Structure 1
């Protein structure tokens, strides 16, 4: 069995290759993804047990999510992804859980954006300058050729650090104090915060693509309810999987019927392209994305 640390895991998960792997997985009828187990932990954290399999591999993602670690030296997400060969039962790979989570979440957003974003090249607004902010910055720069990014964060030092990273990649980067004010200039938007409160109220552009990835429980929220209802009435809402019906806090708190929205699988299998008008892509996470990452890591 090969054991990969965070750096080695990330190196094997090129965002474009991983976005391709996500789409390939959604077309694969052999994929099975049981419902994930989420066990509350003392102190407000959660233990996630997330299995998935196809005709060749079986994976289990075992991670903890500890919101209280935000702003400390300890990461909010810790754990591993174990990859097994289904024929022999042997462990073949151990991947770093936080690195997989960061890379595959950004790759899912990239896959959705390249199918649905009316203006895929940006400029890009990133709200939240943590691990997910960085992975989305890299994915959209690599996969969409984004050259200009604006960054908003409740922690100015984190925003400046991410802007410096963007500049090191050859991008033009600007830290902004008001995310809503930046929406007029940015047709691409990603919200990737701890989802402890509303960070985006709008209004958004008529050609906007917003990927909201921070909230993955009914009680978490990043988007104002009025903004969600505006997308429902005037644009298009797509969710990552059917599990969003009971996980998409932004949409559920807005009183919307999440079950009636198309999923990314519907988009990929129907070969739908960018639609006219604004698009909200709500991502909650799914073990299938981790299986796609395991495939990608093995192929690399």
Structure 2
């Protein structure tokens, strides 16, 4: 007697994955995950590749859902017309082991990173209406523009990039969304006019050397290894001394290049979970004034939140 193989799980391509992950709902899913004590996320495995890139293997689970993210990151791919991040996320039922979904890895990475920044801005930004400065006009710059417009109601955006063509393309996209957008050629000078800042560069060298405003919220997402950097060390030390620095998770203790290269004790900084749960660590660290610097390095828990968000939408 022959047994029929189980049906293949639904595979969501990039467009379908994006449509299943609206930014406000995804930010809510991230917050719910941070309150869930059943979530477990082991350290990610990073395998160097012969071409200078890395293979990331990132599992996570709660009491209902398990995921594994398999992506490659090759930083110079965009210069050759290829995406820097490629791969998929496999979603399983945590109780019976069934494969439930396959999600497009780069799309989830872009959207969940921006949704985490959105949640941080909801909680920490003193002037969440902007104007918003985006430094780095690639995939993450676009995702953060969309997320902050959808989730915070931002209407004015300034965009800086080493590539004028990339900045102009993102300005055009913002204009199509109905935003007041313009390219700026000096990101340091633009900091003075923007209480919301997102740095989403390739983080191969310092991109920002000026100090953000005293009422600024900064989401720094480009540097996610100890050797990457976007913000000058002296600026990071100033932010730690005069404002509040928050990291996305404890994985940042050994991955937050901007902060590590500034010589800061990253392990002593509060995490986004501390903020959401209002822990004693957060109450000790928060200041009533001064800039807020949110350092995001990535975590498989964010991908689990995205999977939960997709499954919840499908069940409604």
Which bracket does the TM-score occupy, shorter chain normalised?
over 0.9
Q: CA deviation digits over 1:178-235, x for unaligned, max 9?
A: 0000001000000001100111111211100110001011100000001100001100
| TM-score scaled by length of structure 2 | 0.93
Aligned equivalent of 2:261, options 242, 253, 256: 253
Aligned to 1:90: 98
Provide, for residues 43-92 of structure 1, a one-character-per-residue CA deviation record: whole Å limited to 9, x for no partner.
21000000000010000000000012022321000000000001211100
1:274–1:96 distance in 2 versus 1, CA, 3 Å:
farther
Aligned counterpart, 1:292: 305
1: CA distance, partners of 2:79 / 2:289:
39
Partner of 1:200: 208
Contact 1:132 1:192 in 2 (8 A): yes
The DSSP-based 3-state class of the residue aligned with 1:196 is: coil
C-alpha distance in 2 between matches for 1:80 and 1:240: 22
- CA–CA separation in structure 2 for the residues paired with 1:96 and 1:191: 24
Higher relative strand content: 1
Per-residue CA deviation, residues 248-297 of structure 1 (Å, 9 max, x unaligned), is: 00000001110000000000001879942210000000000000000111
Greater relative CO (CA pairs within 8 A, separation 6+): 1
Deviations 1:122-178 (CA, angstroms, capped at 9, x unpaired): 000000001100000000000000000000001111100100010111100010000
Query: How do 1:4-15 and structure 2 match up within 5 A?
Result: 4-15=12-23
Equivalent runs, 1:90-109 vs 2, <5 Å: 90-109=98-117
Q: 1:165–1:37: structure 2 CA closer, same or farther, 3 Å change rule?
A: same
User: In 2, are the aligned partners of 1:189 and 1:209 still within 8 Å (CA)?
Assistant: yes
> SS state of the match for residue 42, structure 2?
coil
Whose radius of gyration is greater, 1 or 2? 2
**2:47 matched to which residue of 1?**
39
Count of residues paired in the alignment = 300
> Runs of 4+ in structure 1 displaced over 2 angstroms?
271-276
Is contact 1:122–1:186 with CA below 8 Å preserved after alignment?
yes
CA distance in 2 between counterparts of 1:259 and 1:190 reads 23
Aligned to 1:157: 165
Question: Does structure 2 conserve the Cα–Cα contact (< 8 Å) formed by 1:116 and 1:274?
Answer: no
Are the equivalent residues in 1 in contact too, given 2:243–2:287 (CA < 8 A)?
Answer: no
Output the TM-score relative to the length of structure 1.
0.98
Alignment partners' CA distance in 1, 2:47 and 2:182? 39
Root mean square deviation of aligned Cα: 1.1
